[in-house]
A and B are shown apart, each in its own frame.
Chain A
Amino acid sequence: MKLLHLYHDIMNLYGDYANVLAMQRILQNSGETVEVDKLSLGCEARLDQYDFIFIGSGTERNQKVVLEDIRRFRDDLKRCMDGGKVMLFTGNSFELLGKTVTDADGRVYDGLGLFGFTSEEQNKTRMTADAVFGCGFLDSELVGFVNKCSRCRGIEEPLFEVKLGLGNCDNDKGEGVRAENLFGTHLTGPVLMKNPHFLIYLASLILNRAPSEDGMEFVKAGFEVTLSELKKRMEKENN
């Protein structure tokens, strides 16, 4: 199998690269031979040959640089999305997929237009929060961290339901975006490493069967500790 970590060196702000390590390991443990390509600005790439594509989060400036570069993949990405390829976009990388991104100075950049939503940045307050998100396709919640300066408006089918943390904009209870097997979320960092059940779910979509759960004891235990910490936090905030 082939995995693609796209913009690995410029969109990799919070340990996002570990998502690819986690996917590589679970597929290998499931008996697959796995090859990982790390590509970046200006690299040639045939997206259709990959089984999993990942892009992580970057600074606002880096995201704009990537936005210019990724345009050449627009139609390929659309085909991948429509064809059900498993793709994960963490942090502000999923904003690339929308209609526009407006920076803090009001400059409007065209997005890839795979979705109709718009993103608007500001430079006054960094919006950060620990997160507990629910979703219909998993038995347990997800945990993680949101670290952004933008609001996304116009997402009709969000990926997650916010139980703790930040939604797509203001008091929005919806977070992220999903279409087919494309998953976009403002959760940053090693989302798949931190949420083994989400990793298992994505791996099962790639494999069309249940993956092996060997060697996941630490990540599973780590998830439980964080979930329990965050739930304590939620109770505190509700009281």
Chain B
Amino acid sequence: MNETLKAARLDFALLRPYWKTLCFIILMPVIYTGVARSLSAGISFEMCMLGITASYTFAISEKNGMERLYGALPVARRHLVFGKYLLICATGLLALGISLVTHTAVLKALGETVHAWEIAVSAVLGFFVYTFYVVFQLPGYYKFGAVGGKMFQFIPVTGYLLTLILLPRVDPNSPVLTAVLGRPGALAGAVLLCCAAAYGISIVVSVRIVKNKEV
């Protein structure tokens, strides 16, 4: 865990000079929430935007030829991978936390009511969107680099769009749907479990790619 933390700190040091951009990305979508008057819409939009920044550390390290530094450091490659995932996940959670507060505040200021369950739904939805955006991209960047891996961004985008298209077609009275929606706690739990599994699989794939990678 120590090695992973060191690796996460190293990755964080790459992002630190770009903190202004990141702050903007975290705070700007509040406008969208204000316009759409929907917490979940704003939060999921925000997490999508943040998900796109997953390539930053790759781009910065490629630009500076830092794979040579990584090659010289006394740290196992897999720990560098763990560290990056840790940082990405932590950034997501932090942004989610901040946004839930700010977006709710803005909505309330605009006169909308925000129920507790809405916040909960937005949180789970936001985390889900972010996870699936990230777990496809990272192995892609590890394998093909910051530019080549960009195409993997479109997997979750496609999924998102498909959901938006198919969702209205779902019969609101179907028994499956009623059963699922009737137990929101279990649903939330299942979603978070999926996310954890997604991270796990993504990490395993990334570590394998990195182990075989030549500099």
A and B interact physically = no
B: residues with CB less than 8 A from A are none
